[in-house]
Amino acid sequence: MFYVARHGQTDWNISGLYQGDTDTLLNAEGLRQAEGLRDFLAGFPIDRIVCSTLRRAKITAETVNERHHAPVLYTEKLIERGFGRWEGSLIAAHRDDPNRPRFPYLSETDLPYGIEPARAICDRVFSLLSGLEEKYPGQNILIVTHGGTIGAINAYFRGFGEDGRRMMHRATGNCQLLAYEKREEAGGSFPDPLFSADR
């Protein structure tokens, strides 16, 4: 079983900024959310944790692991999509930009502003997940990562969408928890969350 959680809230989240691969920290609310996720997962059998190397994810994972004391693997394959020159700028300021990438589409190969193509995200996430499945069959693995990366994880487990999309992009709440048991060909939809920090 794979459990997948997004990191807790940061100041950049509440300011509506492109955060991408910038190494931001959790704010006080983000720490509270991570503690809520920790408490929710206390009774779950977690064999190991695999986490992004960015600090907002690492702090979330370390907080959750206060109850499990599981081995943790940190990997750059789980970092958020890089937004290049858009990092730190308002998301709303780019909504009408004709060069704004259509995030879910794997056809992206060369994007302006130094934005990471969706193909690159899928390649790194898919290779990580296939390796984990091969190395740790039958284990319960918690992945702590970022919203954009979760789109690629969903695509790995749920396959192509009806319109040919290989990753679905849906707003994933801070510290929201999803679960995947096996790969399917269901068409890209997200599972219902097991936990949301704001509930």
Q: What residues are annotated to the active site?
A: 7, 80
Per-residue tokens: 46 = 């977690």
Amino acid at residue number 141: I
Q: Which of 47, 13, 33, 164 is nearest to 102 (CA)?
A: 164
Of the candidates 182, 160, 149, the one whose C-alpha atom is nearest the C-alpha of residue 53 is 149
Decide: 75 and 53 in contact? Cβ < 8 Å: yes
* Dist. CA 108–CA 115, nearest whole Å: 10
Q: Number of C-alpha atoms within 13 angstroms, CB side, residue 103?
A: 17
What residues form DSSP beta bridges with 73? 50
178 DSSP β-pair partners: 4
